[in-house]
Amino acid sequence: MANTFELLALEMRGRAASKPERQSSDGTNKVAWLARDTSVVMMPWEQALVFEGVVWDVTVGSFSTPITGGGAGTILDQDQPELVIDVPAGVAIVPLRVHAACQLQLIAADSDEAEILLAVDRTAISSASATNGTVETPLNKRTDKIGGSRCTVVSAVTVNLTVAPTLSKELMHVVKVADVQGTAATALWNHLELLYEGTDYIVGPATVVLYWGGTAAVSGFAEVKFAEFDAAAY
């Protein structure tokens, strides 16, 4: 005889309001937030993190001045990323969004290549500093947030990192290869973009690295958004 069960409806109470009742601490029992039509208001997780002041932005390149890839060279250089985020022990980040847009030069030869790579070293920080490139200051998505990110962020690395990243996991990799049937020098390939929206929970010590480059010089810009937590928060 098949087992049967009855699912009973549970009564849920809430408070209708134009904004939620603020909870002062974890573990406090509160009623659900209802819209004035009594429907339950569901906030996206990312927006809730922004309200809590744990989401940060950082950019590579500024205004109309891009960063030349390959450590200001051409092909990808593992020791000289275009962006490095050192995540110290006791801290974890989620790279919510990484967007890189690259400007490609005239094609020099058939099978020329350009690429963008986003990766993570799961076990160590690179010890990046002003000696290696440009130290960036992440900006909190809450404009009233006082204090800075605990991560060290360096862009436009042109001097080898103290600890070369081990690319233990590629988060995203895009490549464009030229196919020329005529005179290469008169052919122009379009731009190259990477858009990563991830959920990886990267626990320090770790390093997130972003590269771009190719057989000819590749310049570009990037915007990175990441959430930062105490490593033991989840």
Round to whole Å and give the CA distance between 56 and 227.
Answer: 6
Q: Specify burial of residue 127 (Cβ count, 10 A radius: 0-12, 13-18, 19+).
A: middle
pLDDT band for position 176 (cuts 50, 70, 90): confident
**Whether the model pTM is above 0.85:** no
Q: Please state the rounded mean pLDDT for residues 39-64.
A: 87
pLDDT band for position 150 (cuts 50, 70, 90): very high
Round to whole Å and give the CA distance between 175 and 66.
Answer: 19
Closest CA to 171 of 105, 88, 54, 83: 83
Fold that domain 46-233 belongs to in CATH? Jelly Rolls (2.60.120)
Q: Which residues contact 201 (CB under 8 A, 6 or more apart)?
A: 92, 94, 234
Q: Which two tokens stand for residue 67?
A: 């960063």
Which residues of the chain form CATH 2.60.120?
A: 46-233
pLDDT band for position 147 (cuts 50, 70, 90): confident
For all residues of the chain together, what is the average pLDDT? 84
